Structure 1
């Protein structure tokens, strides 16, 4: 059963108390995790063990138009994925959360290694879009399916839904989080970083690991750490 925060306090006060728990550990841990992830990600991107399979487009791809202005939404993932760990209130849950995120990313990287994929070559003059040209130069067309961008967003959205409910935030905060996740998924297609099959694969991966991790980690409320609980 979920433990809900007392209703007496203002919801923002409860959120702030969670953010202030182990702030430096959360900040350093999140940054270190991202650094290690990108090292592995780009190593696979630059050294595929086979010729990448080009992911086909489906009907859904024709519904999403190329939208260069979606680039800031695409980049906002790195803020979004930092929110769930920031709202975890005890060390045991925080450590296990990191383990599950690591498992999700390792699974995605293993798929990239076993089955290299890439997005199609689109007829776009990227020089007209400097921001997108920059990321296209760094994050090439490989490591396409499943989209770990979408998997991470979906995983974070599911966790934020539980954490925000526990903290008794207003309903509009829950909706804002969900819409942000949907916007991030849309942005991966709108910037031509991914096609629809990549997005669907990433969403499935994110849902799988969020369901498993949420079933495993029940208690995220603040409490003294007991060695036996680790």
Structure 2
């Protein structure tokens, strides 16, 4: 039998999800379109010759796993969750601005200090999905990994949101596991090396800390 507390957090999440759903859907779509326009412009117009990222022994500890591609692309669903679960326009706007600041900062770094992931000795023709992605991305814009930064940033925001509605701990753990799997996938499909991942995690943590601290001071997350 479902307890009143269980119904309370599910009702809160549902109420947040349907609030301004049309604006959230349109805004998320527009943001992603604009982001990819900027991302590929920077990729094709670096300010200087891209520098290959060095590898460390830890890069060899993560085996090449083509199946990690599914986890890699799951980021685009994962990063959409915080905005979908925000309670009002003010919080949505604040989140959008901080997310734009995170992405914009990384794009600026990519343009000023372009980097490339090292080319592994892999026959990409045996992995069509990965070959297609490699052909588009060319493994550029490597450090910091914006994929990792976005996942870590999202994990912190989801932790705050789920805590505010009193969601059970298993949802918190599920979010953390998803974040870790996404981070792992960036190395498993050889899109990034460890230094990219480390830098991306630090960027994601920094922007999460700054944005959530400002949100708390502004009186956000009260519902």
Band of TM-score, shorter chain: over 0.9
Partner of 2:205: 207
Structure 2 CA distance for aligned equivalents of residues 9 and 121 of structure 1: 51
Q: Which residue of 1 aligns with 2:10?
A: 12
Instruction: Please tell me whether the aligned partners of residues 75 and 182 of structure 2 are also in contact (alpha carbons under 8 angstroms).
Output: yes
Q: Give TM-score scaled by structure 1 length.
A: 0.92
* Relative contact order higher in (CA < 8 Å, ≥ 6 apart): 1
The aligned counterpart of 2:41 is: 43
Partners of 1:153 and 1:109 lie apart in 2 by 16
Partner of 2:221: 220
Give the structure-2-normalised TM-score: 0.94
**Could you give the per-residue CA deviations for residues 115-155 of structure 1, whole angstroms, max 9, x where no partner exists?**
00000011111010011111111111210000000000000
Contact 2:45 2:111 in 1 (8 A): no
In the alignment, the residues of structure 2 paired with residue 80 and residue 184 of structure 1 have an alpha-carbon distance, to the nearest angstrom, of 9
Alpha-carbon deviations, 1:4-54, whole Å to 9, x = none?
xx9474322221111001001111101100100100100111111111110
* CA distance in structure 2 between the aligned counterparts of 1:19 and 1:58, rounded to whole angstroms: 42
| 8 Å Cα contact 1:155/1:206 also seen in 2 | yes
Q: For residues 1-230 of structure 1, what are the structure 2 equivalents within 5 Å?
A: 7=5, 9-218=7-216, 219-221=220-222
| Partner Cα separation in structure 1 for residue 104 and residue 222 of structure 2 | 27
- Superposition misfits of 4+ residues, deviation over 6 angstroms: none
CA offset digits 1:163-191 (Å, max 9, x no partner): 00111111000000001000000000001
Deviation at 1:62, TM superposition (A): 1.3
> Post-superposition shift, 1:82?
0.3
Q: Indicate the SS of the match to 2:80.
A: helix
Paired position in structure 2 for 1:225: none
How many residues of Structure 1 are paired with residues of Structure 2 in the alignment?
217
Q: Which moved more, 1:183-192 or 1:13-22?
A: 13-22
Q: C-alpha displacement at 1:220, in angstroms?
A: 2.9
Which ranges of structure 2 fall in alignment gaps of 5 or more residues? Answer: none
- State the Cα RMSD in Å: 1.2
CA contact (8 A) 1:155 1:209 kept: yes
Structure 1 residue runs without a partner (length 5+): 1-5, 223-230
